[in-house]
Chain A
Amino acid sequence: MSSVTLNQIGKSYGALEVVSGINLEIADKEFVVLVGPSGCGKTTLLRMIAGLETITVGDLLIDGERVNRVRPDERGLAMVFQSYALYPHMTVADNMSFALRLAGVDKSERDRKVNEAAKILQLDHLLQRRPAQLSGGQRQRVAIGRAIVRDPKVFLFDEPLSNLDAALRIQMRIELARLHKQLSATMIYVTHDQVEAMTMADRIVVVNKGGIEQVGTPMEIYQNPDTVFVAGFIGSPKMNLFEATATTVDGRTFAHLNSGQKISVPMQLKPGTQITLGVRPEALTADSSGPLAGEITVIEHLGGETLTYVDIGNGKLATIKSGEASLGQVGDTIRVSFAADRLHVFGPDGRAIRIQPRH
C-alpha cells in the first residue's frame, strides 16, 4: 500500500502564496497526472511531496503517516527530474546504485537490483557508459532506472519527457504506461502537456493559479469540464469558447454571442447573465439548417482529419474538426450545428452550469 494524501496543503514565499488549499487523495497503484500551464504551481506541489520544498501549511501523508518534516530520502519516494540530473562522473550502473550504496546495501545485492532494472529498461549494454555518452532517450531511461532500483513507494516525475523530441516522447509515453503496469507502483506525474495527461493518467488533476481546478478521469475531464479554464486547457484542438449574454424570448432562453449571432440554449437563465458557451471542434458539423453561419477562412488538412476555421462574426473563429473531406472552400459561407448535449455552458464565475435534461 502506498497512498498519498494532501490535506489543505499550501506554500507561500513571504506574502506571496504560490499554492493554496490543495486537497487530494492518491490511491495505491494510481497514475495521477498534475497538469497545468507553466507557473501554475504543479512543480512546486510535486517538490513539496518530494521534500525538496517545505510545506507552509497543511498535512502531507504517505500511507497515512504525516511526513511534512521527514527527510526526502526517508519518505520512500523516487523522483525523475526534467533535466534527468544524472551524476555525470559516474557510470550508468553507479548512477543507478548510488542510493543503495549510501544505504549500505552490499555489492551483490546492488548488482542484482541494477541488472534487474536495466533489463526492464533495456539498458543492459550501457551499464558501463557515462551519461555524456548516452542519447537523450537513454539518459531518460537511466533516470527512471535510478528510481526503480530504489523500490520506492511512490514515483514522482517532473516533466520527464519535455527534453525529448516528438517521436521519442510518444515512444517514452508508451513505455512509461507499460512500466506503470509492470511495476504496479503509485506514480505522480507533472506535465504541461495535456496530451501526456490524457494518454497516461488514471486520473488527471488540473492545476491553475496554485489551486486545483478539477480532478477526474481523462474522459470525465474531457467530457464534463467544471470550469472554462479546464474546458480550454484540455483537448486539442481547443474547445470553441464563445462569450455571450443570455436573453429570454417567449420563455425560451437564447444566447446572444458577442460576435453577433443568436443560438438557443436548453436551460433557464436569468436574462442579462454573462455566459460562455463551449463546443468541442468534433461536435460541430456542417448543416444547412444549423443555427450558426460563417465564412470559411482557413482549412487545415491533417490527412485523416480536417480542421476548418469559420468566422462567425467580428473575427471570432470557430474550429470544426471533420474527416478527410473538406466542408467547402475558403470564402464559402456555411451553416454549422451541434447536438444540444454537446454544448457546455459556463456562468459568469467561469464554472459550468450543467444542462438539465428537458422534460
Chain B
Amino acid sequence: MEQSTGQKIATALVGWGLSLLMAFPILWMALAAFKTESQAIASPPIFFFAPTLENFAAVFERANYPHFFLNSVVVAGGSTLLALIIGLPAAYAMAFYPTKRTKDVLVWMLSTKMMPAVGVLVPIYLMFRSAGLIDTRSGLVFMYTLMNLPIVVWMLFTFFKDVPKEILEAALLDGARPVQQFWMLLLPLTAPGIASTGLLAVILAWNEAFWSINLSTSNATPLTAFIASFSSPEGLFWAKLSAASLLAIGPILAFGWMTQKQLVRGLTFGAVK
C-alpha cells in the first residue's frame, strides 16, 4: 500500500514515541549513572548537567566488577552450551521420530516454566547443599541449564519441524545415515535457528536473578547479584545503583545489539521462509 508523506511522518512519530516510552526507564537509568547522588534524586528531575564518572569509580572501588562479569560469562555461556548439547538430540528425536506421547512431553516440559520458581526453592537449596553446589559456578550452570532446557528444546523442535521431510528422505535414498543427515543437512539448514536459540538462552541466563541470589554468596555470584548488592543495606543510592546496573546490562545490551539481525532472523525463521 502506498503511503502519503503525512502518513509516513505520523507512523514515524508514533513509532518513535512508543519506542522512547518503552526505553525511558533504561535511558533514565543511563542518565542517572552520570549524575551526582543529589542530582539523581532532585525533583523536578534534571536533564542537563555536567556528567561525572565518580559513581563508576565508587562502584569499582567497592566491588570486584571483573569477578562478577567473568562469573556471568561462564555461567551464561556454560549453561547455554550444555542446554544445546542436551537439547539438540532431544529435539531431533522428537521432531523426526515422534511417538504418540511426544506432544504431551513437550507440553509437560513447557508447563514446568509455569510454576513459580520460589515454590521449589527449598528442595533445590537442600539438594544443592548436599551436593556441595551452593555458591559454585557449576551449580549455577546446572540450574540455568535446567531452567532454559524447555525453551531450548521447544525452539529447536520447531526449527527441525520446518525442515521438509522430503529433504531427509532424499538423503536417505542418497545413502546418508542419521548421523550424517544431522551433521550434513540438519545442522547447516537450521543453523540460524540454533544460533538464535543459543542467543536467547544466553540472554535469559545473563538476566536471571532469583537463583543466582539464592544459590550464590560470593565465589559464583554473577552480575545480577552484583546489582542486588547495591540496593540494600545503606539505603538507596540512585546514582551508584544506576552505574552498577548500567555496568551489568551493558555487555548483554551490546551483545543483543550486535546479534539482533541473527536473533530476529532466527525467531521468524519458518514464517518468512
Contacts and interface: CB of A to CB of B under 8 A. Distances in A.
B174 A81 contact: no
A98 B172 CA distance: 11
A189 B267 CA distance: 39
B59 interface: no
Interface stretch (A20-28, A70-78, A175-183, A316-324): A70-78
A99 B175 contact: yes
A170 B92 CA distance: 40
Contact of B170 (A51, A85, A89, A103): A85
Contact of A102 (B166, B167, B176, B189): B176
A146 B173 CA distance: 11
B169 A98 contact: no
B100 to A, nearest CB: 12
B1 to A, nearest CB: 28
Contact of B175 (A79, A81, A83, A102): A102
Contacts of A348: none
B166 to A, nearest CB: 4
B180 interface: yes
Interface in A65-102: 72-73, 77-79, 81-83, 85-89, 98-99, 102
A73 B172 contact: yes
B185 interface: yes
Interface string A99-114: 1001100000000000
A50 interface: yes
Interface string A36-61: 00000000000000111000000000
Contacts of B185: 87
21 contacts: A50-B173, A52-B169, A52-B173, A73-B174, A73-B175, A77-B173, A78-B173, A81-B166, A85-B166, A85-B169, A85-B170, A86-B167, A87-B185, A88-B167, A89-B189, A98-B171, A98-B176, A99-B173, A99-B174, A99-B175, A102-B180
B162 to A, nearest CB: 12
Nearest to B166: A85
A81 B169 contact: yes
A150 interface: yes
Contacts of A77: 173
A144 to B, nearest CB: 12
Among B166, B176, B180, find the residue whose CB has the most chain A CB atoms closer than 10 A: B166
Given A89-B188, A89-B189, A83 B164 contact: yes
A250 B37 CA distance: 120
B180 A81 contact: no
Interface in A139-175: 146, 150
Contacts of A86: 167, 170
A81 B170 contact: yes
A17 B2 CA distance: 55
Contacts of B188: 89
Considering residues A51, A77, A87, A150, which has the most beta carbons from chain B within 10 angstroms of its beta carbon? Answer: A87
A222 B173 CA distance: 35
A79 B173 contact: yes
Nearest to B191: A89
Given A98-B176, A146-B174, 17 more contacts: A50-B173, A52-B173, A73-B173, A73-B174, A73-B175, A81-B169, A81-B170, A82-B166, A85-B164, A85-B166, A85-B167, A88-B189, A98-B171, A98-B174, A99-B175, A102-B174, A103-B175
Contacts of B175: 73, 99, 102-103
Nearest to A102: B175
A51 B174 CA distance: 12
B182 to A, nearest CB: 14
Contacts of B173: 50-52, 72-73, 77-79, 99
Contacts of B167: 85-88
A184 B185 CA distance: 32
B172 A52 contact: yes
Given A88-B189, A102-B180, A72 B164 contact: no
A81 B172 CA distance: 13
Contacts of A98: 171, 174, 176
Contact of A79 (B164, B170, B176, B189): B170
A102 B174 CA distance: 8
Contacts of B189: 88-89
A98 B185 CA distance: 11
A275 B128 CA distance: 83
A143 to B, nearest CB: 8
Contacts of B164: 83, 85
B166 A150 contact: no
Interface string B134-166: 000000000000000000000000000000101
Contacts of A150: 174
Nearest to A47: B169
A52 B188 CA distance: 23
Contacts of B176: 73, 98, 102
A318 B102 CA distance: 54
The 3 A-B residue pairs whose C-beta atoms are closest, nearest first, are A73-B175, A85-B166, A99-B174
Contacts of A82: 166
A36 B100 CA distance: 31
A179 B198 CA distance: 48
Nearest to A77: B173
Nearest to A52: B169
A83 B174 contact: no
Contacts of B174: 73, 98-99, 102, 146, 150
